Amino acid sequence: MRRRDLSKLMALGAGALIPRRTRAQSDVEMRYPRTPGEVGAQVVPSDYGFAPLPIVDVRRYGFDPAAAAERNTAAIRSAIVALPRVSGAAAGTIQFPPGVFAVDSQTIDIPQYVVLRGAGMRATVLQTANDGRGDALFRLGGPSSGALKYGCGLSDLAIILKHRNGRAVECNETCGACLARLYIECDEVSRSRTGEGVRIDGGDVSSFFNVLDLVHTNHLHVGFRVTTSGKVEPTQQMFKGCLALGDVGTDGSSVGLWVETGGSGSVWQGGNLESCGDGMRFTKGCQSMSIVGARFEGNSRDVDLEANVSAQSFIGCLIGVPDKIRDSDRVSNHRFIGCLNENNRETPTLDPGQATKRATSPGQCPLIIEGFPGDTTAEQLLIRNAAGQRLFSITNEGKFARIGNASPAVISGSRGANAALHNLLTVLATYGLIVDNSSP
């Protein structure tokens, strides 16, 4: 070697004289050696530089921005099966790094006690070609089994659906599942679609006590769907600060929240339903759900209450009552309490438009009004017109207190000469209680 060549190498530093070690060599390989769990699951790490426990870094199994979708999906599955076992089941947290990663369209099951966590709602981005013909990309709880699955979760990442009919997340027969700080978007928005953000499925055992916290869905046909593919309805979901943004211009039948079956006892707190065909749609089986402090904006309809839906409560919402509410139910009064419409004007506190109470089974009395005990004079049933005039009222004793904005008429005249009878017939006809066709 000539002197000038050596001087160039020395200028580059000692590292230039020593070949760079690959990750499969020496101390890097020994840093985090293969665990018994990996051996038992027949999983061989591709990079021993990342820790397997207590929080598993998915990069240990080949998860990489430059990797193919199939390889990244396989890395996630390897990380799950290599977790330590609790009562024979995998348990622990899988950590995703920041970056944009391709994953394939096949479903990734998240068993109970397993949590997948990214580096932030938009810091970790997963892109998938899931087309909705199978299950969602992530299925918390795994396949239906007729048994509840506890404590699984997905958080702090974004899912970009490259297909307009793709499905992102499903909670299947779960109890206490947690979806937090998720951003879900459909990447194809130029035409109608069937894609779904989050589906909660009761299966054959129900699904309840699940928490959805700051889950944002964008350009989906259905942002959130509560339903069942089995025999049992899901109940008691908690939605906190969730957002559903549709595309009413290119997908006029989009729905922000679709309570298709079940949902009783659920709470939607805060958040936004925007630019959808229906901001919220209730189909059947939901006995009572509370929507508190939600904003409805730019929807064709804010709420669609279909037949066979019991009373729902909207409290402190910005909602278009009555113009953007369709009530096909007419069984129970849906409550709108302390709400404002889109023009910041107070909304009715009860069902918009005509409210009809009807029995839904034999022997029912659909409307009961009870007076205060001991009160014999107050107007218990009162009907006013738009000007506030008392058109009709009944006391607690069942007597007429007011008819036609006037006190009950006084009947006078002689009974013997039929003057009293003539007066009575005239009054009854005036009240509309009879048609007087009597002869003079």
Residue type, 223: G
Percent helix, strand, coil in the chain (nearest 5)?
A: 10, 35, 55
- Report how far residue 196's alpha carbon sits from residue 211's, in angstroms, rounded to the nearest whole number: 18
Range of the domain at 122: 35-337
Burial of 432 (0-12, 13-18, 19+ CB in 10 A): exposed
- Report how far residue 434's alpha carbon sits from residue 46's, in angstroms, rounded to the nearest whole number: 92
In a domain, 64, yes or no: yes
In a domain, 375, yes or no: no
Give residue 355's pLDDT: 54
Give residue 424's pLDDT: 83
- Report how far residue 335's alpha carbon sits from residue 319's, in angstroms, rounded to the nearest whole number: 12
pLDDT tens-digit series, residues 295-319: 999 999 999 998 777 888 999 999 9
In a domain, 70, yes or no: yes
Angle among Cα 418, 424, 425 to the nearest 5 degrees reads 90
Give the confidence band of 189 by pLDDT, cuts at 50, 70, 90. Answer: confident
DSSP states along 257-321: EEEEE--TT-EEES-EEES-SEEEEEEE-----EEES-EEES-SEEEEE-TT----EEES-B--T
CB-CB contact of 262 with 226 (8 Å): yes
* Span 363-374, average pLDDT: 76
* Span 81-103, average pLDDT: 90
Give residue 180's pLDDT: 98
Cα dihedral 77, 79, 80, 84, rounded to 10, equals: 150
Provide the token pair at 127. 């892109």
Give residue 1's pLDDT: 42
* Span 23-40, average pLDDT: 68
Global pTM value: 0.74
Give residue 181's pLDDT: 98
- Which residues, 6 or more positions from 199, have their beta carbon under 8 angstroms from its beta carbon? 136, 167, 169, 170, 171, 222, 224, 225, 227
% residues pLDDT > 90 (the chain): 52
In a domain, 356, yes or no: no
Give residue 155's pLDDT: 98
- Which residues, 6 or more positions from 155, have their beta carbon under 8 angstroms from its beta carbon? 115, 116, 117, 118, 178, 179, 180, 181, 182
Cα dihedral 427, 428, 429, 430, rounded to 10, equals: 50
Domain count for the chain: 1
In a domain, 173, yes or no: yes
Residue type, 16: A
pLDDT surpasses 90 at 360: no
Helix/strand/coil (H/E/C) assignment for every residue in 10-58: HHHCHHHHCCCCCCCCHHHHHHCCCCHHHHHCCCCCCCCCCCCCCEEEH
pLDDT surpasses 80 at 3: no
Report the CATH number that the domain containing residue 296 is assigned in CATH: 2.160.20.10
What average pLDDT does the structure give for the chain? Answer: 85
In a domain, 240, yes or no: yes
- Dihedral sign (CA 309, 313, 318, 322): positive
In a domain, 280, yes or no: yes
Highest-confidence segment of 126-130, 191-195, 348-352 = 126-130
Give residue 21's pLDDT: 39
Give the confidence band of 31 by pLDDT, cuts at 50, 70, 90. Answer: confident
In a domain, 311, yes or no: yes
Burial of 284 (0-12, 13-18, 19+ CB in 10 A): middle
Give residue 246's pLDDT: 95
Give the confidence band of 344 by pLDDT, cuts at 50, 70, 90. Answer: low
Q: Please state, in angstroms and as integers, the Cα–Cα distance from residue 312 to each residue in 39, 276, 282, 291, following that order.
A: 53, 20, 9, 8
Residue bearing tokens 């006037």? 406
Provide the token pair at 323. 């113009």
- Report how far residue 72's alpha carbon sits from residue 49's, in angstroms, rounded to the nearest whole number: 17
Give residue 373's pLDDT: 76
Rg of the chain's alpha carbons, rounded to an integer?
A: 33
Give residue 222's pLDDT: 98
**HSE-CB of 316 using CA atoms within 13 angstroms:** 7
How many residues in the chain?
Answer: 440
